[in-house]
A and B are shown apart, each in its own frame.
Chain A
Amino acid sequence: EAAVTQSPRNKVTVTGGNVTLSCRQTNSHNYMYWYRQDTGHGLRLIHYSYGAGNLQIGDVPDGYKATRTTQEDFFLLLELASPSQTSLYFCASSHWGETLYFGSGTRLTVL
């Protein structure tokens, strides 16, 4: 089973602040994803990548940047955080876009 580690587990920032969420997977999966989960909206895809240096836009990308620095590492960047970005964020990985394996999530609060 894929091992996907997210950090931090919890993060509080202020409006306009800079936030970086980190994700590392150790099973040599090529695809990695960032989702956000909100009540009433379920899981929504922000960005994803199929390899180092690659970035694909998801369904709710506004206000987010992402970078895949290596096969293992995928980062989500919020450069001017807003209260609407308060959410539970999940990273996931998969082999060629098949079964996704999720990290434990990062709860972000923007005050």
Chain B
Amino acid sequence: AQKVTQTQTSISVMEKTTVTMDCVYETRDSSYFLFWYKQTASGEIVFLIRQDSYKKENATEGHYSLNFQKPKSSIGLIITATQIEDSAVYFCAMRGITGNTGKLIFGLGTTLQVQP
């Protein structure tokens, strides 16, 4: 069975610092896709960044980047120069390719609070 685990329930950082959020996953698929989403205080869920398992290079998107460690089944999200508006809940998610079902499995989320 596929599973996504985010061990950090909440993190608090000072503005303009760098934060890393952890995520580990379990899958038997040889290829898979990993995603990070952000849920704002209003409840909106926004796609941030994606890593395809066959790509060795870590994905980057603006001030978001990923630390993909395939042997450890780990995909960390790194936010540099954090801003107050980065305060949100961050979800890690995975989709395998078996059956091409399109199903996304989510972790339970990490709450990030950025302090001024």
Contact = CB atoms under 8 A, between A and B. Distances in A.
B and A form one assembly: yes
Interface of A: 31, 33, 40-43, 45, 48, 50, 56, 58-59, 88, 90, 92, 94, 96-102, 104-105
Contacts of B101: 48, 56, 97
Contacts of A42: 91, 106-109
A40 B103 CA distance: 20
Contact of A94 (B44, B45, B102): B102
Contacts of B106: 42-43
30 contacts: A31-B102, A33-B104, A40-B108, A42-B107, A42-B109, A43-B106, A45-B103, A48-B103, A58-B103, A59-B103, A88-B43, A92-B45, A94-B102, A96-B100, A97-B95, A97-B100, A97-B101, A98-B33, A98-B95, A100-B47, A100-B93, A100-B104, A101-B47, A102-B37, A102-B44, A102-B46, A102-B47, A104-B44, A105-B43, A105-B44
Interface in B65-106: 91, 93, 95, 100-104, 106
Contacts of A101: 47
A23 to B, nearest CB: 14
A43 B91 contact: yes
The winner among B104, B106, B108 for most chain A CB atoms within 10 A is B104
The 7 closest A-B pairs by CB, nearest first: A97-B102, A102-B45, A43-B106, A42-B108, A31-B102, A105-B43, A42-B106
A94 B102 CA distance: 8
